[in-house]
Every structure is written in structure tokens, then in C-alpha cells.
Copies of this chain bind each other. A is one copy, B any other.
Amino acid sequence: MKIKPLGDRVLVKVLPPEEKTKGGLFLPQTAQEKTQEGLVEAIGESDQIKLKVGDKVIYDKYAGTQLKIEEEEYLILKNTDILAVVEK
């Protein structure tokens, strides 16, 4: 099954939150950490979208619509709900 987002929407695969710090300790999550990371899986046809498939992105946890495909969690987000790209 392949999902094609419409318009200015982007399909993002949700990445599990990294719960360990560099030194290996568990980092408690606070209500203040409202962001979440994901991978761009597919993009809509709008030329407003400056992302490409494979980009690692940061988005607001409370944006978008959740979707489960073959037991994996995805989000359909508006392009403008994606805050930043994480560069390697």
C-alpha cells in the first residue's frame, strides 16, 4: 500500500523518541518537550514544499493526523506544521 499526500501535505514516519542521553542515562520527558522527530516518506504536489523524501524533520507533537500502516505509526502533516530539518 502506498499513500500519496494531497496538496501541501507530507507523510512522515514517526521516529521513537530517544530516551537516553549521550552518557547513557534515561532522560525524563517533560511536558515542555513538545517536539517529535520523523522521516519524510511522501510529499504532496504543492511546490511550497521544500522537503524531500528521506529528510529527518522536527514537528510539533500535537499537529497532523495519525495513521497506522502495517503496524507502523505515521502522520499526515501540513508542510507548514514541520518546524525544521535535522541535518546530519
The minimal Cβ–Cβ distance linking A4 to chain B, given in whole angstroms, is: 5
Q: Is the interface of A mostly helix, strand, loop or mixed?
A: strand
B82 contacts A6, C-beta separation under 8 Å: yes
Q: How far is the CA of A87 from the CA of B82 in the complex (A)?
A: 24
A7 interfacial by beta-carbon distance below 8 Å: yes
Q: Is the CB of A83 within 8 A of B60?
A: no
Q: How many copies does the complex hold?
A: 7
Q: CB of A67 within 8 A of chain B?
A: yes
Assess the B66–A1 pair: CB atoms within 8 A: no
**5 pairs of A and B residues whose beta carbons are closest in the complex:** A2-B87, A4-B85, A76-B83, A5-B84, A32-B66
Q: Which residues of A contact B (CB under 8 A)?
A: 1-7, 9, 11, 21-22, 27, 32-35, 45, 50-51, 58, 60, 65-68, 70-71, 76, 80, 82-88
